[in-house]
A and B are shown apart, each in its own frame.
Chain A
Amino acid sequence: MIRYVVRRLLLLIPILFGVAFLIFFIMELSPGDPATKILGIEAPPEAKEQLREQLGLNDPFFVRFFNYIKDIVVHLDFGISWRTKNPVFQDILPRIPISLTLASFGIIFATLFGIPLGVISAVKQNTIGDNTLRVVATILVAVPTFLLAMLLILGFSSGLGWLPASGASSLISYILPVITCGGPYGCAILRITRSTMLEEIRQDYVRTAKAKGVPVNVVTYKHALKNALLPVVTTIGQNFGAILGGSVVAESVFSLPGIGSLVILGIRSKDTPTVIASVLLISIFFAIIMLIVDLLYAFIDPRIKAKYAKGNQ
């Protein structure tokens, strides 16, 4: 098991290297001279030239990329932001906890409402409750994240006045953003839980357990749900990218100063170092989550656990 984790972590290195190269290359395509962006249009050409030399912008693409990676690996230096003139890492650091809070509460919220409601929907198939849940889930998946955010603000913030519409001063201000990025995600979980549960509760082993007199709740939650969880966990993993995308929107609409809103700020102000560093960081986070999801399989499915055990021998 530990060997597997280590191997997976090592495999991450070439992928993240590739991500860095890809983003570096994409941003290379963007027009405009960095020195002009930093110093302003009126700055004397000599000063610009000096800055270019200083930042190594006159070097060939691959040399610059190599130096960029070297600085990150050796000094944890992601370059200087063209917008704030601070080291990018210093700009990003205070934003990390905010994005982490949003994403983790988002995933918890989505799972907590997706799985139980999915199970209920399957057990009570074709009742009013099931149909209502299905309709709501189907519609919610079609609502753009920013619109959902605006509707929540309209309803709970300016309408009822219960919750703040912006800022990150307390956990309460996270409620609406969490619903925004967790809601559609939870609906995806609900839909997959429902359909796999429907398959499971028709299996022979469920019928046998019921015939033997095991209480219905025990059969549903202990027997069937356990077997239905595997595809659900896959969905949770596969859609995690969506929650990260959603959190970018949520951070912008609710003015949460997280990494997502930094990406937007960076793109709007053409601040390449910030964009590269934030996207890289989000991808690292994404990769770690995918690794955790893979490891979760082992806990849910004994067959996969057995495979790991074999690999260790």
Chain B
Amino acid sequence: MTVPGVLRGALGRQRRHVGRLLLWSFAETAPSFVSGLAVAHALDEGFAAGRPSVGFGWLCILAGAWLAAAIGARQVLLAIAGIVEPFRNDLLGLVVAGTLHRAAGSGRGPDTAAVARLNRQAELARDAFAAVIAVVRSFVFSVTGVVLGVLALMGSVLPLVLLPLAAGLALFLMSLPAMAARQRRAILAEEGTASSLAAMVDGLRDVRACGAEGRVAARVGRAVDEQARAATGLARLTAVRTLSLAVGGWLPILLVLAATPSLVREGATAGVVLGTLTYIAQSLTPALGSLVQGVGVNGVRLMVALERILSTGAPPAADPPAGGRHPAAAPPDGPRAGHPRRAPRGSLLRMREVTFAYGLGAEPVVSGLDLTVRDGEHLAVVGPSGIGKSTVAALAAGLLRPKEGRVLIGGVPVDLLDRAALSRARVLIPQEAYVFRGTLAENLGYLAGSPGRRELDAAVDAIGMTDLAARLGGYAAEVDPGTLSSGERQLVALTRAYLSRARLVLLDEATCHLDPAAEARAEEAFARRDGTLIVIAHRLTSALRAGRILVMDGNRAVDGTHAELVDASPLYRDLMGRWETPAPA
């Protein structure tokens, strides 16, 4: 999606408002047509001719034009609002969808500040877009009105007005690219200062602890200097730009004055000269000024903001499980919801020669991993953090594509399963439990459609969140995730997974905020549940509950029973040993 494309789309979708905008623009720019005429006639036929009533009449016509303009201005503004408010909504939609898809792809979202910045960009883009629409439209209509007015007054004056205007406009357009570049640089520099200041303030403690005051002052100083340089550069070019305004706005006045003697000889009255000057001073110069300002500043602002939004908000090229991009309504509650080419049978998980690395220059996290977890088996994965346990879980769940090798669930390669089929086949609960604003029932039934009361009760009881459910006020009560502790959120997520129809359950440190007893209860509940359980262990006790254990050490992995591993894996022995071998005498 390109910036012009987005803007065209925004205008195209709101044809009604665009039409309304154009219609009311006639009313709004009426004075630019009427003013010179009215002044000329009021003077020539009224006041100068000794007929003040006629003069007042023309002034009343002018006042009427201004009133119409005022009403028009209101409608114009509302029409613009009608265009830019949906535009803002669209942008927010892009931002939200893009951010969510991206975060889902990487497993991590931007922080609060980044979200706030994106929202602000959408607001900025809206305001800038409104300003650009307003000034461009106003300029076109004003110039048209002036041309018509001058023609009505005295056609021969027109070139005196239009030629300098065209020259000024050309000058402005020529300076626009440079202007835009400097404006953009100024905007970026301002953001750079703000973000480096924010980083500095956030890190005050660490900066002092590292004794890095000098280095950080130099770094922030560079951003500050850059902002000052950018602002100065902008001021310099703005000063030059003033010339184009002078050519377009002031030169016509001088030309008209210079031509006045000859115009008078052609029969022009004082009123005609005054009317022409009124046109120039009252309509043309302001319109040109706001065009220069509006396009030179707001136009650039709009481009920068839109580029930001599009780069962060663009829908990702391909979702990992992109078999068919489902509009993924509520997760499917049965095989009716969609028919993948092959439905997985059972929950046998097979990983064959799987190799995965996060980047070209990175060491593989997993290398040549062979793992089979039979239907109904209970496997624990242990190893130091950062060793890639979560990566294995993500690979097994089909959220990451291995560089080499295959992952099969129920005999079907995971990359053949679309999003819906995948979420029917397996459920992955990560460490950071997700609870959203909504009822408890909605939260619990997130992966299972709308489970019945009895089903809910059974799951809640099995996981051990009966007390929590009662405290929250039952299934119909609204849940505010902010009021739940991490452990409570994990209980909700675990119950949700327990309720899902998937036979393969992957708990990726999903119980780390529970106390050991609660963790044991939840894990036992899953072990009793029909299907396969894979636990990425946060505590080693989780390993002791599992039938089989996968020990990850470096990018190698060994699996076996506890007894086997004590023999086979030095790391495992090291981990467990300290608790098991009595101190030698």
Chains A and B are bound partners: no
